[in-house]
Amino acid sequence: MRSKSTFSLAAGLLTISPFILFAAPAAAASIAGVWTAQFELGDQSTDYDLDLKQEGEKVTGDMVSPRSQNHYPVSKGGFKDSTLTLDIPRNFGGQDVVLHIVAKLEKDGRLVGTVGIEGLGEGKFEAKLKSPAKPAAPPPAKRGLKGRWKTVTQIGDRELAGNLEVTEREGKLHGVSTSERGSLELKSVALGDEGKVVMTLEINGREFKILAAFDGADRLKGNWEASDDHTVSGSWNAEREAAAPAAATAAAAAKAAVEPAGPLAGRLGCTTTLPEGRRIGFQLFLKASGEKLTGHMIAHEGRRFDIQPGTFKEGNLAFEVDVTGSDGQSRHLKFTGTVGAKGNVKGSWSGGDVSGDWTGSPAVEL
């Protein structure tokens, strides 16, 4: 039989330093929630708010005083066979004690049992549900990758603005990147389950990757890097463009159907085969203003030659340029070409007693 002095000491603990007890919710499947608990030791009764979490049979949480708002974590807790067990450590007056609760979940949703403090005795425990745990918020809806995006690619200290259009054909994603340098179809576009985006593209025979992740439903943040050298890299970000109203989209399509393609502008990656059979590459930087064509050529060895003012009319271009070969010999070359639907150019060149064919494709620069 417990002595009167034992209950007096326990009652003193209740009065001077309240304990926060944990109560089990009514539902056996989950006892998570905030509860009001009451326990009695001797002739003293005290109530506490109980913030309880459950994962399987494991129970965690805090015992919270409604008076001081102090929190006391559960060190060990479980809920099995409709029985809740909790150990809540507490320091009082420099002495560590453990509050031990054992309670049975009744049919009316109450937890009824005992609370004990080693060496100080045992008393009654009862708890009622105050507010059930809020259900986990569903993950934000994924809008997917399809659509038009405004992109910004960091290349050293320069930012290159552009657009990315992602479509789906036969269950597979496809992408086209466009900037002031031209357009380029991506080699692959993939969207992982966790919102990770991986895109690959080839520029002048070298493969690059774009690795990004969703930052919200309409933003992508990531980096680009060369597949053969990860140190060649920079940041890459994109923001989804708002979808145009159906009427505006139809009007734009009708306008495009009756209007000719816009003027040629940007950079072309070009190749030609010399008379001796050697194939070389060069670049053209062109700008059309009305029917006037200006720009310059970068030869395969890196030297620049300004083109003489040429013409661009109804998809056909013509210009002349004076170049100096690696042998020191100067030549006056004439170029003509026709621009195709995707901006590709096919044409011919001539200079004195030599001539050849050339092709060019819009180049995209990371």
For residue 202, give the CATH number of its domain.
2.40.128.120
| Domain boundary residue, one of 98, 132, 166 | 132
Could you tell me if residue 55 is inside a domain?
Answer: yes
Task: Specify if 256 maps to a domain.
Answer: no
Q: Is residue 138 part of a domain?
A: no
Domain boundary among 191, 223, 240: 240
Please indicate, yes or no, if residue 16 is contained in any of the structural domains. Answer: yes
* pLDDT, tens digit, 9 for 90 and up, residues 27-46: 445 788 888 999 887 778 88
> 72 and 25 in one domain?
yes
With a cut of 90, say whether residue 303 has pLDDT above it: no
**Does 110 share its domain with 156?**
no
DSSP state of 188: E
Residue 143's pLDDT is what?
A: 63
Last residue of a domain, one of 132, 165, 182: 132
Q: Is the pLDDT of residue 283 over 50?
A: yes
Give this prediction's pTM. Answer: 0.37
In the chain, the percentage of residues whose pLDDT exceeds 90 is: 22
Q: Give exposure, 199-208, as e/b (b: 16+ Cβ within 10 Å).
A: bebebeeeeb
Query: Do 107 and 11 share a structural domain?
Result: yes
The answer to whether position 253 is within a domain reads no
Q: Alpha-carbon distance 307 to 288, whole Å? A: 13
Spatial contact of 174 and 167, defined as CB atoms under 8 Å apart: yes
Is the pLDDT at 261 greater than 50, yes or no? no
Residue 255 lies in a domain: no
User: In this structure, are 11 and 128 located in the same domain?
Assistant: yes
Confidence of residue 11 (pLDDT cuts 50, 70, 90): very low
Quote the pLDDT of residue 95.
76
Q: Residue 129's closest CA among 84, 190, 167? A: 84
- Note whether 113 and 184 are same-domain residues: no
How many domains does the chain divide into? 3
Residues 15 and 120 both lie in one domain: yes
β-pair partners for 268: 284, 362
The pLDDT of residue 45 is 84
Same domain, 126 and 59: yes
Position 258 in a domain = no
106 and 20 assigned to the same domain: yes
Same domain membership, residue 337 and residue 297: yes
Residue 299 lies in a domain: yes
pLDDT the model gives residue 183: 67
Pair 157, 192 in one domain:
yes
- 173 and 109 assigned to the same domain: no
Domain that holds residue 106: 4-132
In this structure, the answer to whether residues 179 and 207 fall within a common structural domain is yes
- Write the CB contacts of 161 (distance below 8 Å, at least 6 apart in sequence): 150, 151, 152, 179, 180
